[in-house]
Chain A
């Protein structure tokens, strides 16, 4: 175990008001898990791509459209007040969920991708000069690579990459040499979407801060699985998506420290982000509205707030424990299959299992599994540079969520035996 175990480092402590974790009850709260696929019960193991939604979230979205739909922040009538209230209540929920200091630090965006683009354009770009550097890691998703390439092209800055070990762990000894005086930002994933590696971000944020370098954390794969405390982490920015955390698509969050957000110019202009507009000039609205131009995804924010309530009621500690136990079970089950090689064997991992098989290509594996009701992902997982580093063109990836159980893993393992029989 690393000295700064991310599982505990970002956890403020167990909550004592959560009922015991009952997997059958939880499964019954996700209507889609009742579906049969090709005559088999659905074993949904593509949670790193998107998660399924509990009934409560689906109901909250429907209730908004059935009873409260109106635009926010402008109407002087009851419906608009209700919509505004529910939308802003979700901001409070996000603030509490990640323990931000204040609600003004929570910006609603479309998802992690938009959050990173916002930071790239509003924070990084005005501060970058030719020869400056942005530092990322080999583990990054394309959404934490391409936005930096775009602004590097525009400013003459350079993109630098922290190397990883064959197991898929960040080479922390290389980090200090890469945190040079001309480095302007470290942008790092909390959990690798391809390998499941949990990065020691608290330690790395501390390292970066010692050099005066701000840090953006891509938390898309972390928030559903680990308790996040942005103040303990001391992250300058933290981004995540609603749909990976049991909420709807099209909504996400950018957390930023107030003192940094206050120095940033808006990313997009439009309604809601202004306080006064004349044809000569515009005075921008206060935080966080300055970064929320246009009518927001109101139903999405409400659905996300409901999803976070749902997770809070179960407790992230219990969820982490369940998923870790299932990850151990799945790792053993897959390791027992001859001709299967796990890709990504970091000591600290979230519930993601990437693998290749001698018998068949990942796409063929996925097609055969689908016929058995098992949904996994095959391909490069939007991490093509990582795949190149690992020397594989594609992997099959099973990724876990709080509603997965051993039956799902058994179906996966049985399906993989079928793959071996077919392609022997």
Chain B
């Protein structure tokens, strides 16, 4: 196995891909958003429970769906990192994560903790959409005021 593959499929990714955390329907969710990658057919649904109020906080996040190891691991790691964040913080995290994968914009290294394991995707441009599928669903969920909840967000 070459170095790039080893970095792409780190143990954490294979573990989360195989045993995704928070893989369930969140019955008392306040937000939910379907995500779809039409190129490969990966589909997932992201659920959030946001505590309302002047200082809203994401109390719970979960997902279910079907896809490759990268998309499942990325969704799993996302749901883990969302808990306790405000919606604004979650959107900032999206930006930072996107920069981590694409190398675009201001690339001053923000430490994204466990999410760093997905850095290996950078060497595989065709797989970046797998890694960002759940994240696009996150943005869709948070912007739900403007969207109908049943709409799909697409990576395209």
Contact = CB atoms under 8 A, between A and B. Distances in A.
Interface of A: 38-39, 360-364, 367-368, 371, 378-380, 384, 387, 393-394, 418, 422-423
Given A363-B127, A367-B124, A380-B40, A38 B9 contact: no
B68 A363 contact: yes
Interface string B46-79: 0000000000000000000011111000000000
Contact of B41 (A360, A364, A384): A384
Contact of A418 (B1, B41, B127): B1
Which of A38, A378, A380, A393 gathers the greatest number of chain B CB atoms within 10 Å? A393
Contact of B127 (A367, A384, A423): A367
Rank and list the top 8 A-B pairs by shortest CB-CB distance, nearest first: A361-B68, A363-B68, A380-B41, A379-B40, A364-B69, A393-B66, A393-B41, A364-B68
Given A38-B2, A362-B68, A363-B70, A422 B41 contact: no
Interface in B1-51: 1-2, 4-5, 8-9, 14, 17-18, 39-43
Contact of B4 (A371, A378, A384): A371
Contacts of B5: 367-368, 371, 422
Given A364-B69, A367-B124, A368-B5, A422 B14 contact: yes
B96 to A, nearest CB: 25
Contacts, number: 57
Contacts of B69: 360-361, 364, 423
A39 B5 CA distance: 14
Interface size class of B (residues with CB under 8 A): 20 to 34
A363 B9 CA distance: 12
Which of B4, B39, B68, B70 gathers the greatest number of chain A CB atoms within 10 Å? B68
B118 interface: no
A367 B8 contact: yes
Contacts of B18: 423
Contacts of B2: 38-39, 371
Contacts of A384: 41
Contacts of A393: 41-43, 66-67
Contacts of B70: 363-364
B152 to A, nearest CB: 14
15 contacts: A39-B2, A361-B67, A363-B40, A363-B67, A364-B9, A367-B8, A367-B124, A367-B126, A367-B127, A368-B5, A371-B4, A379-B41, A393-B43, A394-B41, A422-B5
B11 to A, nearest CB: 10
